Amino acid sequence: MRFLSFCTSAAWAAPAAAAALAVGDRQSRLVGSTKHDNDYDLDPSATFSFAGITTFARLPQVQCLMESGPVDDILVLGFPFDTATSFRTGTRFGPNAVRQGSRAATLAGLYNYRQSINPYVQNISIVDCGDLPISPFDNGLAFAQMEDWYKRLLWREVKSAEKGIRSSKTGRVHPQIVAIGGDHSISLPILRALNTVYGKVSTIHIDAHIDTWSPKVFAGAKAGSKQAEFADGTPYYWAGMEGLLTTTNVHAGIRSSLDSEKDMDLDAEMGFTTIPAWEMLKRDGVWGVIDKIRAVVPHDKPVYVSLDVDSLDPAFVPGTAGPASGGWTPREIIQIIIDGLEGLNIVGVDVVEVLPSLDQAEITGIAAAEFTIELITRLVRNRIGQ
């Protein structure tokens, strides 16, 4: 019986194996097996959005601070600094989280469907300069480092001067730097550096918080600490006091609590018009907010744009240092970038306060990367007259 069973099994095994081989052969041809296709790609430059060294939007990485000669036209620059934060720490890891988020944001390619352009093929060179070396131990030193490094890049010659932003103060074209933070205190050394080239600038500050608080609001400053006077809630106070700003500045998205009603009086002294978050709920919605921004900020003077991801509701950005409920949506922020910044003389931007250790599924990093891509695209479109 065992012999008969073996024979019977053997009798069935041969045709079954042949059938399996036939099916496998047919399937291999269907999926393009290399056995039947000698034209497969071995291009070593081919890559996928999930592979390779992480740079922002898969841009070339250049050691900008170590090179001499003309720099590229638009520079992505990380500011891994968070020791001036007043609440959650960890935004020093923000630059790399935004770079990682840009993998998903450029999943299908680099053509910007929202703005109907590929910003990277417009004869305007864009690179990722990596991160600045910033001390995490001494804030006074860190602020000096940020200003000095930024200034060194800002004063370099650029590759496409005919399409750049020309300074009436220096008579030349300077690179546009897209800074990725880091906590919001990085805006102050950036504005100090920009002042050497452009003089006073107007600021579009998109945030849940005013960031013009008097240093006396912060506990360390009340105790007499000079270093504590420079924090993530004071950059625009100091920018106003140091004469870095015009009187045509905008806060957009404000909704956080205040120390007192006097905070807004001081804010007005710094030259800011405030658009609270609830303006978005009015009948004209995002278009009303855009109109208010454009009514305040001059179109022919230097403008700096600062985007704090906590301007969004925490539902969209759980990984941020200062969450505040009742914020905007990514769609509304993107529309402000596309239409609110159209035609403006933007001399620099920052995207700040991404805190990846509290993020879920990279949604904050992806949102920040999307905003950065839209900002870069808007810079390019403004340069070429779109």
Question: What pLDDT is stored for residue 226 in this prediction?
Answer: 77
**The dihedral of CA 132, 135, 136, 138: what is its sign?**
negative
Residue whose pair of structure tokens reads 């923000």 in the numeric block: 94
Please identify every stretch of the chain with a pLDDT value under 70, giving residue numbers as ranges.
Answer: 1-42, 161-162, 218-223
Q: Identify the helix (H) or strand (E) that includes residue 85.
A: none
> pLDDT for 306-325, tens place per residue?
999 999 999 999 999 999 99
Q: Going from the N-terminus, what domains does the chain have, and what CATH number goes with each? A: 56-383 (3.40.800.10)
Residues 6+ apart with CB under 8 A from 310: 207, 208, 209, 317, 320, 321, 322, 323, 324, 327, 353
Burial of 104 per CB tally in 10 Å (0-12, 13-18, 19+): middle
Question: What pLDDT is stored for residue 95 in this prediction?
Answer: 98
Residues 6+ apart with CB under 8 A from 255: 208, 276, 277, 278, 324, 326, 327
Q: How distant is the alpha carbon of residue 321 from its chain centre?
A: 15
DSSP-based three-state secondary structure for 18: helix
Which amino acids are annotated as binding site, given as ranges?
184, 207, 209, 211, 308, 310
Question: What pLDDT is stored for residue 63 in this prediction?
Answer: 94
Query: CB 157: neighbour CB atoms within 10 A?
Result: 12
Whether residue 182 is preceded by a cis peptide bond, meaning omega within 30 degrees of 0, is yes
Which amino acids are annotated as binding site for Mn(2+), given as ranges?
184, 207, 209, 211, 308, 310
